[in-house]
Amino acid sequence: MKLLEDRIRRDGRILPGDVIKVDSFLNHLIDVELVSACADEWYNIYKDMGVTKILTIEASGIALASITATKFSVPVLFAKKTRSSNLSQRVLSTKVVSYTHGQSYDVIVSRDYIKKEDKILIIDDFLANGSALRALVTLAEKAGATVLGIGIAVEKVYQGGGEDIRRRGYRIDSLAKIKSVDVESGIEFYE
Amino acid sequence: MKLLEDRIRRDGRILPGDVIKVDSFLNHLIDVELVSACADEWYNIYKDMGVTKILTIEASGIALASITATKFSVPVLFAKKTRSSNLSQRVLSTKVVSYTHGQSYDVIVSRDYIKKEDKILIIDDFLANGSALRALVTLAEKAGATVLGIGIAVEKVYQGGGEDIRRRGYRIDSLAKIKSVDVESGIEFYE
């Protein structure tokens, strides 16, 4: 999606350690018109597939997922991160080890809010090693729901998370697929 | 706002200890059409006041704030909660003591994303004792920005947070103002 790639080129900041900061328009300060254009792309792909629910994970996925949900006129459910070991019977949970922060946490959703009849579109802002996304897929699987597909704004393809999840049979529609990042030469995208 | 009050009466769950759960439509599973109707109310109030930015706090405020931002065609900024004591020079921060969880945490936003020229509409889902909201007001004040007003979905009036913030001169537009909650007799709203 050219609009998003151009914005990443213009306003993304490349930091040492393979970090791309998009927090001026995507995940801290959020340009909702850009997000709405992203949501239109996912809507065009999935509009005839019977999506019943949008699933995301707190916090930065919520803006994209909520605006996407308005296009489909379906509810959005956001999974919560918790370090509490006291999980109630009323939640579905899965454990995530964060490579970024070196900590593990549980990702939970209420059992009441994903049903096996649900046809889910997962939405998130970023896909790198895929740990958060695998957790969302696992929660949907535990509920017996169908994951129709996954909409991602920015995928760092070379970190392998997307490849792993596609290999498991899931469809991922990433709007900007990053091939390489370099402080000197900038960001290269896949076509 | 009758639509929201009716929904709280129908789907809100009253738990012992003065707890009202609205997580089936407002802050876990989110009915984005209801949220969009809330956003329209705030838009009608603030549309001629020159709002430049919507400010909220993670996580459950983000859906309301993002959809509200689409009405105004302005960006949304969400403040982050962190327990890290290593705050960079690049952030504005304020400390919050959570009565619910008995812990303290810092609420931060990047200095780059609130300017003194900003005219801010703060949006959040819930107002009870007001600790999170006071933090947002404080961050806007630290940036020298103008807070035009505060849009809240559900205010538990008797917990006093709203009164305290109004006394400081801020305008709050709550769409459902709860007068009392009782497991037996249900929820009573102010007109």
Residues of chain B in contact with residue A93, where contact means CB-CB under 8 angstroms, are none
Largest CA distance in chain A: 51
pLDDT of the residue at B100:
65
Residues in chain A: 191
Whole-number pLDDT of residue B185: 87
Tokens matching residue A153? 């704004």
Give contacts of B30 with chain A, Cβ < 8 Å: 66, 69, 75-78
Name the stretches of chain B with pLDDT < 50.
none
pLDDT band at A100 (very low <50, low <70, confident <90, very high): low
Query: What single-letter amino acid sits at A149?
Result: G
Report d(CA B49, CA B37) in Å as an integer: 20
Residue in chain B lying closest to A109 (CA): B28
Q: Report CB contact under 8 Å: B113, A28.
A: yes
Q: Give domain limits for chain A.
A: 2-189
* Helices A2-11 and A32-46, packing angle to 10 deg: 150
CATH architecture entry for B2-189: 3-Layer(aba) Sandwich (3.40)
Q: Which of B32, B33, B124 has the highest number of chain A CBs within 10 A, making it the mutation to test binding with A?
A: B32
What pLDDT, in 10s, does the model give residues B135-183?
999 999 999 999 999 999 999 999 999 999 999 999 999 999 999 998 8
- Interchain pair A32, B109: CB under 8 A: no
Residue to test with chain A: of B36, B78, B139, most A Cβ within 10 A: B78
Of B25, B58, B69, the CB nearest to A59: B58
ipTM over 0.90: yes
Biggest CA–CA distance in chain B, Å, is: 51
